[in-house]
Amino acid sequence: MCVTAIRQNCGAMPTPPSVNLSKSEKRTLGAFYTPSEAASLMAQWVVAHQPETILEPSFGDGVFLRAIEDAARRKRRKPHLVGAELLSAAFDAAQASLSLTIDGHAGDFLSLPTRPVDAAIGNPPFVRLRHLPNQQRDNALRAANIALGFSMDPSGSTWMPFVLHAAEFLNDGGCLALVLPHELTYVKYARPLWSYLASKFSRLRVIRTYDRMFGDLLQDIVILLGEGKGGRCTEVEYQVSHTLTSLEDDSDLRMLNIEEIVAGKRHFHHALLSPQILKLLDNTLIPATVAIGDTARVRIGYVAGDKRFFHPGPDVIKTHRLPARSLRTSFGAGRSIRGKGLFSSNLPKSSTQQLWLPDKNKLTQGELAYISIGEDSGVSGGYKCSIRSPWYVIPGVEVPDVIFSVFSDRPLAILNDADLVASNSLLCASMLAGSSAEWLVGSWYSSITQLFIELEVHSLGGGVLVAVPQELSRVRVPTKAPSSTDHLTRLHTALAADDYLGACALGDQFLLENGTITQRELKLVKDGISTLQRWRNRPTN
């Protein structure tokens, strides 16, 4: 069913009934209601399939119900509505605003037994399973398990069980239209969902717009459309537009291989790039680069369990006479390394902290007293501490070769020449045999690497990149990279001046001189970076 023809008829929806929720309540419930423009487009698409019964698994403020009612009236149809809403005030308001017949359930949709419907439409809540009350979490995991045939990753979010459970309601030939978070396209826990969808629908489409669908919210959103329940497909159509009302015709679709999406390839992100850049990636950049994970072991830093207790300040160290042998100098927060240069030996004391790491067999009287303080104040009862034996010894404290910032618009790489340790506010890399830390930091600062960072590292809704070990391991860096003392010194000077682009320019010059890339190709690379950064940092309305 063509979205382009439908979008031209999208009209204004009636004003919704008032459902007053605070920002914290909306965040807890995942109750961010869909704008009428998106609901109208999706409802017209669903009604065009001529369903007799339509499921709305999470009423919210009723915007989809009213959109269905409006679209059905235009087509002179009267479908029967089925659905649920957990929030009683929203349930009552949605019911009161309709003239169509609706079979509503005031409660958790994921606890409902399946019944035959012809279509499903809606905007499921985006709440992490771990944040749900126990019963709701159990309902979500049970629903996902029934659909998938195996257990869902409990680190995931409620939207995925909603998709699975809603799809299980559909008759053969049925369709679904759902508003979902952009993480659908790349998170590991959603990969089984893609396998499920490919095995259940004959056609799948994902729509993404540059203008944020949720106005002033930073949540990045896509629309998932599925047709032909009971069929199978191997590709998903990806349609990108500036706004919903400016969707191009079907000739502009990118066809993405679902098997490769399941394998972890970020095809939705690559599809934002021009064909020329994609060709350059395949023919030049990938052969001239290597994944960091093939040259280094990437991990998070140590997990203290209680940052204040395990990073005592000078006064605490002095008061309890904590011995020097039990103290290790550690990197501070990720932001503390910005503008400090390339070398950990250049970090001022204000950018470091002391980690208390005692030897359980050589505790001093002062340390025994400090342990008692930790027990009396409840530090030992915290989750991370309570599962350790003894609770006060932090495991996994290693000296990395290279340190990477985690939260950043442009992630930094620091050479750990002072043998500092690092907490989980940073990422750590230990070089494998045959690779050097100097080479890795030298290869990090170039436009080629920055393009791969944009392609592989996910971002928060506000645009900040969030580096995690698996994604950082996939970032590719030039195999021919400068590692001379002179080059590293110049990198240090640029980074100490907080000149990130200047540091990358030094790497680019080296790659131009050794023939890894041409000026024309470098321009394409920078165009690609600009495109991905523009999508990552989209403004709110």
DSSP string, 296-334: EEEEE-B--SSHHHHS--HHHHHHTT--GGGEEEEE--G
Q: Which two tokens stand for residue 229?
A: 């329940």
Q: Can you give the three-state secondary structure of 459-519, one letter per residue?
A: ECCCCCEECCHHHHHHCEEECCCCCCHHHHHHHHHHHHCCCHHHHHHHHHHHHHHCCCCCH
Q: What is the pLDDT of residue 104?
A: 86
Cβ-proximal residues to 533 (8 Å cutoff; 6+ apart), any chain: 454
Measure the N-to-C terminal CA separation of the chain; round to a whole number of Å: 30
Q: Parse the chain into domains and list their residue ranges.
A: 30-265, 296-305+333-353+398-536
Residue 380 and residue 391 in contact, taking contact as beta carbons nearer than 8 Å: yes
User: Splitting the chain (541 residues) into consecutive groups of 10 residues, what average pLDDT does each group show?
Assistant: 48 43 47 74 95 92 89 91 83 72 88 96 93 94 97 95 98 97 95 98 96 73 96 97 76 89 95 96 97 98 96 96 97 87 95 96 97 97 95 96 94 97 96 96 98 95 90 97 95 97 98 97 98 90 63
Predicted confidence at residue 459, as pLDDT, reads 92
pLDDT at 33: 60
Amino acid sitting at position 197: L
Q: What is the pTM of this model?
A: 0.88
Please tell me what DSSP assigns to residue 268.
H
Distance of CA 123 to the CA centre of its chain: 18
State residue 215's pLDDT score.
61
Q: What is the DSSP string of 406-420?
A: SEESS--EEE-TT--
Domain 30-265 falls under CATH 1.10.1740.10:
no
Quick one: how far is CA 367 from the chain centroid? 41
Strand partners, 302: 423
